[in-house]
Amino acid sequence: MLMTCRHVAQVRDVYLDGELSPSLTAEVHAHLLQCPECQEQFEMFRACGEVIAKDPPEPRLDSGFASRVVASLPKANSTFGTGLQTRRSLRQRFWRLAIGTSVPAAAAVLFFAVLIWPSGGPYGQVLPAVYEKPADAVQGVVTPTLNAFEETQDAVKSLGKLRGILAADVQKNVGDARHYVDEGEGAENDGPEVTLLDVLLQPFRDVLQPIEEQDTESPDEEKIIRF
C-alpha cells in the first residue's frame, strides 16, 4: 500500500535530515510521483535548502580583516616581527627565568652557610651557644652530603677501573695489529694511554688500520695509540 499524505508528513523531517531508511525513502518517492501537493511542498523545502546553502547574499569581509585581527592580538614579545606572544609562552619564560636564577642562588647560599657555620670561623667564634643546635642541624645536612660525595668518588674510581679493564681489552684486540705495543711495555703502563676514544672507535679499526700502521712507523708514536 502506498503512503498517504499524512504518513509522508510524519516522516518529512527525517527524510529531509537524510536519516530515513532506503526502503521508506523509496516509498516517499513513490508517493511524491502521484501526489502534486506533497511534491510541491518537498520542492519548496529543497529550494529553501539550496538557496540557504548556495546563494551568497552576505557581504564579505575585506582582505585586511585577518591582518587587523592579528594586529589586535596581545604582543608581549614578537617572534615574527608582528608575532603574538601567548600567555602560555609568557608563563613558560617566567618559570624558566625563576628556576634558572633561584636554584643557583639557593645553592650558593647553602654552600657559604656550610662553609662558615660549623668550623668555628670568624663568625662561629662570636656566635653564642644558642646557635650550636642549628649548627648541628647544618652538620646533619652536610655529613650525608659529604658521604654522598665520597660515594661518588668511589664510583668514579670504579669507573676508572672499568675503563682500565676495557682499555686492556681494546689493547689486546688492537695488539693483534700492533705487536710492538705490548711487547715493549706492560699492559698496566699502556692502559692509561688508551683513551675513551679508543673504546668508541674500536668498531672502525678495520677501516682505519692502514693509516695507523703508517703512523706507527714514527718512533715517537710507537707506544701511544692515537687517532
Partner 1 sequence: MSDQDGNGRLSPLRERELIEKAQEGCARSAHELIGSYQDRLHAFVWRMVRNDHDAEEICQDAFLRAFQALDNFDFAYRFSTWLFTIGYRLCLNAMRRRKDYSGDVDFSALRSDGRVDETLGVFDEVANSDEAKRLKKVIWDSVDELTPPQKATVLLFYKESLSCQEIGEILEMPAATVKSHLHRARNRLKELLERQLVEDWSVVRLGVA
Complex with partner 1: residue 62 or 188, whichever CB lies closer: 62
Closest contact distance (angstroms) between CB of 7 and partner 1 is: 16
Residue corresponding to grid cell 678495520? 206
- The residues binding partner 1 (CB under 8 A) are 12-13, 16-17, 40-41, 43-61, 65-70, 72-74, 77, 79-89
Q: For the chain, what is the total number of helices (H) and then of strands (E)?
A: 11, 0
Closest contact distance (angstroms) between CB of 62 and partner 1 is: 9
Complex with partner 1: residue 79 or 152, whichever CB lies closer: 79
Complex with partner 1: residue 10 or 189, whichever CB lies closer: 10
Closest contact distance (angstroms) between CB of 60 and partner 1 is: 6
Closest contact distance (angstroms) between CB of 77 and partner 1 is: 7
155: its cell numbers: 664510583
Task: Provide long-range contacts, Cβ within 8 A and 24+ apart, for 201-207.
Answer: 201/227, 202/170, 202/173, 205/173, 205/174, 205/177
Complex with partner 1: residue 65 or 180, whichever CB lies closer: 65
Closest contact distance (angstroms) between CB of 100 and partner 1 is: 20
CA 207 to chain centre: 36
Complex with partner 1: residue 50 or 169, whichever CB lies closer: 50
Spatial separation of the C-alpha atoms in residues 201 and 204, rounded to whole Å: 5
Intra-chain end-to-end CA distance of the chain, in Å = 96
Half-sphere exposure of 36 (CA within 13 A, CB side): 0
Complex with partner 1: residue 15 or 117, whichever CB lies closer: 15
Contact 178, 216 (CB under 8 A): yes
210: its cell numbers: 692502514
Closest contact distance (angstroms) between CB of 31 and partner 1 is: 17
